[in-house]
């Protein structure tokens, strides 16, 4: 058998919740280690090698240093996997992109703002080529395992692109709208097995927008169910600021 | 036909009587506003007076996720999943859902018969119940009355004090034997009125729909629709599925599953290389409606829609299949009149 794939984990701007979720694979970690060698993982170890077969990257890019590091990782990784909402679509960090960058910088760092260069929060794909996405906030464990096994087998993982509604209907969940709540399920990518609506919550849109989303129609749905136009767009921005700001310009 | 009477306060005892014979599936609350067909453990939980379940009885014969086989990567062998007849009593089924099963029976027995579906279909005893049409039901327009008994072994018609019981087959007779039911003191009442209607019968709709391929309605609906696919996934006559293979984390084996799919979803028509044949929501909406009122109807003479109203009731965007069809009808008639 060929040598095991060399796997590395990296993090950028984010809460490290996705990495915690990776460490939480208590029942699968030993099986996973049968198939790969983990060669770099700041959250779990302190070695630094040269090249990787698979790099799992968490967090969005929000400083000039991030850009340098992600380019370096990309150069050294055969397969680059964006893990979690921040890495895939900019995530909630992207909310700052709706305001002038200088204003945000001043608010956070005050008079020391010149010591901390900052950029609008970017998904990895805005800077480097991303081969595979594992979506969710935090990343969907089920999807991570599917991606992991596919990559170990040398296959291209299939990325789900249908709405969360499909998974709710498959499970016969009571529709969140029927309960009188607002839900972003109709335009949010599934693949999470409708986790939040299945446990009495609504979909906040953490897995990003479906391809070619009909946002005008979604706005109408949200307004019809009681939000103002402004509130509707705020909801949609929570996890999708980078994409929505891009559509505007 | 002798008509018997089941008083409201004896419904629970009746359900218990059925439970002694076979597993019973019946409508039960799964949320404040939702009812689903579930296995009955407590006879008191059964609800016979309900609007609609989100999923029809289809889910028992064609499960949303259905394991087809498991495979072993170490010796390249596979084992087909065991499929058993449902062998149960389906209680409290509305006539349109029973009619939908007739259509699926046709779909799954044509050409290469589909073994999993047909195996699960065996051993079912059907007990129907009448319904009061709400703001979404329109089964009357496709020839299915709220009192339609076709396909049922026994049928309950709701009256003020309980249910009138019709025993329709030997299986139905066996079901009620041993449970005392007095003769009904009044005849079956007239069914409730529908609030939604399609203007034309299917015989004429075929021509209308054929002429509606380029109607503007498809583009208009595409502006309202988010393409979430709910209309497909709750439809009792939709039967498209996708097949997915999942390898477990040991990378020594896995399973092949089929999962319901829908023509409103973008990846439904995506093929190798990334080409999407029906990329726009207008084309997808047209395809969905044509599948219900033209393509299969041309072949069989029947609409492949049973008027349950689910696609409209569960559409957060408020798109109504009745309005779409009626718009096609009125546009057709207008053109026809103008031409004369």
pLDDT of residue A129: 98
Question: Which pLDDT does position A30 carry in this prediction?
Answer: 87
- B298, two tokens: 């041309």
Whether residue A107 is predicted with pLDDT greater than 90 in this model: the reply is: yes
Helices (H), B245-320: 281-290, 296-300, 310-313
Which of B97, B84, B82 is CA-nearest to residue B26?
A: B97
Counting residues of chain A whose pLDDT is more than 70, the rounded percentage is 96
The CA dihedral of A66, A69, A75, A81, to the nearest 10 degrees, is -60
Global pTM value: 0.94
Mean pLDDT within B10-24: 98
In a mutational test of the A interface, the residue from B35, B74, B272, B316 whose CB has the highest number of chain A CBs within 10 Å is B316
Structure confidence at residue A41 (pLDDT): 78
Contact across the interface for A169 and B54, Cβ inside 8 Å: yes
Q: Are B314 and A175 a contacting pair at CB < 8 A? A: yes
- Residue A133 structure tokens: 């996405």
CA–CA distances in Å: residue A180 to residues A185, B7, B50 = 14, 36, 20
Phi and psi at B183, nearest 5°, equal: -65, 145
Please state, in angstroms and rounded to a whole number, the distance separating the CA atoms of residues A84 and A144: 10
* A21: CB partners within 8 A, 6+ apart: A138, A139, A141, A144
Distance CA A153, CA A2 (A): 12
| Contacts with A212 from chain B: Cβ below 8 Å | 266
Interfacial residues of A (vs B; Cβ cutoff 8 Å): 28, 31-32, 34-35, 145-146, 148-150, 152-153, 158, 161-163, 165-166, 169-172, 174-175, 177-179, 185-187, 210-214, 216-218, 220-221, 224-225
Q: Residue A163 and residue B55: Cβ atoms within 8 Å?
A: no
Residues B269 and B153 grouped into a single domain: no
Taking an 8 Å cut-off on Cβ atoms, the answer to whether A178 and B251 are in contact is no
pLDDT, residue B49, reads 96
Taking the CA of residue A239 and the nearest CA in chain B, the distance in Å comes to 18
The C-alpha of A6 sits at a distance from chain B's nearest C-alpha, in angstroms, of: 17
**Same-domain status, B267 and B319:** yes
Please, where in chain A does CATH 3.40.50.700 lie?
6-152
Cβ neighbors of A159 (< 8 A, separation 6 or more) are: A132, A133, A191
Among the partner-chain residues B64, B223, B233, the one whose CB lies closest to the CB of A217 is B223
Give chain A's mean pLDDT: 93
Is the model's pLDDT at A85 over the cut of 80? yes
Whether B169 and B212 map to the same domain: the answer is: no
Average pLDDT over residues A65-77: 94
Average pLDDT score over residue span B265-275: 90
pLDDT band of residue A245 (cuts 50, 70, 90) is confident
Find chain A residues with C-beta within 8 A of B32's C-beta. 174, 179
Inspect the interface and report whether the beta carbons of B267 and A162 lie closer than 8 Å.
yes
Residue B247 within any structural domain of the chain: no
Q: How many residues does chain A have?
A: 249
Give the separation between CA A114 and CA A12, rounded to whole angstroms.
Answer: 21
In a domain, B258, yes or no: no
**Lowest mean pLDDT: which of A29-38, B162-171, B295-304, B319-328?**
A29-38
pLDDT of A1 reads 47
**Distance between A166 CA and the closest CA of chain B, angstroms:** 6
B16: in domain:
yes
Let me know whether B105 and B207 are in one domain.
Answer: no
pLDDT of B338: 65
Domain range for B271? 202-239+263-339
Query: Using 50, 70 and 90 to split pLDDT, how confident is the model at A38?
Result: confident
Say if residue B164 is in the same domain as residue B208: no
Does residue B340 register a pLDDT over 60?
no
B212 lies in the same domain as B172 = no
Q: How far is CA A116 from CA A61, A98, B274, in A?
A: 14, 19, 43
My answer on whether B229 and B171 are in the same domain is no
Number of alpha carbons in the 13 Å side-chain half-sphere of residue A87: 31
Cβ distance of B266 and A210 shorter than 8 Å: yes
Mean predicted confidence (pLDDT) in B60-88:
97
Please report, for residues A151, A249, B245, B267, B287, the alpha-carbon distance to residue B272 in angstroms, rounded to integers and kept in the order given: 19, 32, 17, 11, 21
pLDDT band at B306 (very low <50, low <70, confident <90, very high): very high
**What would the mean pLDDT of B32-45 be, rounded to a whole number?**
96
Residues of B in contact with A152 (CB under 8 A): 251
Flag whether pLDDT at A70 surpasses 90. Answer: yes
Task: Quote the CA–CA distance of B10 and B180 in Å, as a whole number.
Answer: 10
The answer to whether the beta carbons of residues B310 and B319 sit under 8 Å apart is no
- Contact residues on chain B for A153, CB-CB shorter than 8 A: 247, 251
Q: Which of B65, B225, B233 sits opposite A214 (nearest CB)?
A: B225
Same domain, B206 and B278: yes
Average pLDDT, chain B: 95
How far from A210 is each of A190, A194, B174, B274, CA to CA, in Å?
8, 14, 52, 16
Question: Facing residues of B205 across strands?
Answer: none
In chain B, residues with a C-beta closer than 8 Å to the C-beta of A150 are 247
Q: Smallest CA–CA separation between A78 and chain B, in Å?
A: 21
Res. A176: pLDDT tops 90: yes
Q: pLDDT exceeding 90 applies to what percent of chain B?
A: 91
Residues B152 and B233 in one domain: no
Render A127-177 in DSSP notation, one character per residue. Answer: TS---EEE-BTTBPHHHHHHHHHHHHTT-PPPPP-SBHHHHHHHTTPPPGG
| CA B331 to chain CA mean position, Å | 29
Q: Residue B272's pLDDT is what? A: 87
Name the percent of chain A lying above pLDDT 90. Answer: 82
Band (B2; pLDDT cuts 50, 70, 90): confident
- Is A195 a residue whose pLDDT tops 70? yes
CA dihedral A85, A89, A92, A93 (to 10 degrees): 110
- Main-chain dihedrals φ then ψ at residue A210, nearest 5 degrees: -65, 160
Task: Specify whether B169 is located in the same domain as B213.
Answer: no
Alpha-carbon distance B34 to nearest alpha carbon in chain A (angstroms): 6
If you average pLDDT over residues B140-157, what whole number do you get?
97
Is B244 within a domain?
no
Check CB contact under 8 Å for A175 and B34.
Answer: yes
A44 has pLDDT over 70: no
Question: Are B88 and B162 found together in one domain?
Answer: yes
Determine, for residues B250 and A34 on separate chains, whether the beta-carbon distance falls below 8 Å: yes
Given an 8 Å threshold on Cβ–Cβ distance, is A211 in contact with B262?
no
Give the pLDDT confidence of B180-228 residue by residue, as tens digits: 999 999 899 999 999 999 988 888 999 999 999 999 999 999 999 999 9
Domain match, B151 and B207 both:
no
Number of domains in chain B: 2
Closest Cα in chain B to A148: B249
**Distance between CA B24 and CA B90 in Å, rounded?**
6
Question: In CATH, what number does A6-152 get?
Answer: 3.40.50.700
Asked if the structure places residue B253 within a domain, the reply is: no
* pLDDT (average), residues B54-81: 97
Q: Which helix (H) or strand (E) holds A106?
A: helix A101-109
Confidence label for A42 from pLDDT (cuts 50, 70 and 90):
confident
Q: Are A222 and A182 in contact (CB under 8 A)?
A: yes
Nearest to B267 among A149, A161, A185 (CB): A161
Partners of residue B317 in chain A, C-beta under 8 Å = 186, 217, 220-221
- Which class for B251: exposed (0-12), middle (13-18), buried (19 or more C-beta within 10 A)? middle
Q: B-chain residues within 8 Å CB-CB of A214? A: 222-223, 225-227, 281
pLDDT at A247 over 80: no
- Largest Cα span, chain B: 73
Chain A nearest-CA distance from B338, in A, is 34
ipTM: 0.94
Which distant-in-sequence residues (6+ apart) come within 8 Å of A166 by Cβ? A190, B228, B229, B230, B233, B262, B265
3-class DSSP state for residue B254? strand
């Amino acid at each position: 058998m060929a040598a095991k794939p060399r796997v590395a984990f990296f993090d950028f701007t984010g809460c490290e919740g996705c990495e915690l979720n990776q460490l939480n694979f208590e029942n699968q970690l030993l099986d996973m280690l049968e198939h790969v060698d983990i060669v770099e993982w700041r959250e779990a170890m302190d070695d630094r090698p040269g090249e990787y077969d698979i790099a799992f990257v968490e967090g969005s890019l929000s400083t000039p240093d991030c850009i340098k590091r992600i380019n370096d990782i990309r150069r050294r990784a055969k397969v680059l996997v964006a893990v979690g909402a921040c890495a895939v679509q900019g995530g909630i960090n992207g909310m700052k992109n709706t305001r002038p960058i200088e204003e945000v910088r001043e608010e956070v760092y005050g008079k020391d703002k010149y010591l901390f260069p900052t950029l609008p929060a970017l998904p990895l794909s805005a800077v480097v080529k991303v081969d595979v996405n594992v979506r969710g906030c935090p990343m969907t464990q089920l999807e991570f395992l599917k991606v992991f096994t596919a990559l170990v087998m040398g296959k291209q993982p299939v990325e789900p692109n249908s709405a969360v509604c499909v998974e709710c209907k498959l499970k016969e969940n009571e529709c969140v709208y029927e309960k009188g709540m607002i839900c972003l399920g109709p335009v949010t990518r599934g693949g999470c097995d409708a986790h939040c609506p299945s446990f009495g919550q609504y979909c906040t849109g953490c897995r990003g927008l479906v391809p070619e989303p009909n946002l005008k129609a979604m706005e109408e749905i949200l307004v019809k169910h009681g939000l103002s136009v402004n509130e509707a767009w705020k909801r949609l921005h929570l996890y999708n600021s980078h994409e929505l700001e891009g559509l505007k310009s | 036909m002798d008509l018997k009477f089941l008083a409201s306060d004896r419904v629970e005892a009746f359900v218990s009587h059925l439970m002694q014979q076979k597993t019973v599936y019946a409508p039960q609350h799964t949320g404040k506003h939702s009812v689903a067909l579930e296995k009955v453990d407590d006879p008191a939980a059964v609800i016979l007076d309900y609007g609609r379940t989100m999923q029809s009885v289809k889910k028992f014969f064609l499960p949303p996720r259905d394991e087809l086989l498991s495979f072993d990567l170490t010796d390249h062998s596979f084992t087909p999943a065991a499929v058993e007849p449902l062998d149960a009593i389906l209680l409290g089924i509305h006539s349109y859902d029973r009619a939908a099963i007739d259509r699926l029976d046709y779909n799954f027995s044509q050409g290469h018969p589909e073994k999993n579906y047909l195996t699960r279909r065996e051993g079912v005893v059907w007990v129907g119940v009448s319904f009061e049409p709400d703001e979404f039901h329109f089964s009357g327009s496709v020839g299915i009355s709220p009192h339609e008994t076709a396909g049922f072994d026994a049928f309950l018609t709701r009256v003020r004090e309980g249910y009138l019981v019709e025993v329709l087959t030997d299986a139905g007779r066996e079901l009620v034997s041993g449970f005392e039911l007095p003769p009904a003191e009044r005849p079956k009442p007239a069914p409730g009125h529908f609030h939604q209607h399609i203007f034309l019968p299917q015989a004429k709709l075929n021509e209308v729909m054929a002429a509606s391929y380029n109607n503007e309605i498809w583009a208009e609906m595409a502006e309202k629709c988010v393409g979430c696919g709910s209309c497909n996934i709750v439809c009792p006559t939709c039967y498209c599925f996708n097949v997915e293979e999942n390898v477990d984390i040991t990378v020594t084996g896995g399973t092949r599953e089929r999962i319901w799919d829908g023509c409103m979803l973008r990846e439904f028509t995506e093929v190798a290389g990334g080409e999407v044949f029906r990329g726009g929501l207008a084309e997808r909406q047209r395809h969905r409606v044509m599948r219900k009122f033209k393509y299969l109807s041309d072949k069989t003479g029947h609409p492949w829609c049973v008027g349950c109203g689910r696609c409209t009731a569960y559409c957060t965007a408020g798109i109504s299949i009745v309005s779409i069809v009626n718009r096609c009808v009125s546009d057709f008639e207008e053109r026809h009149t103008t031409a004369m």
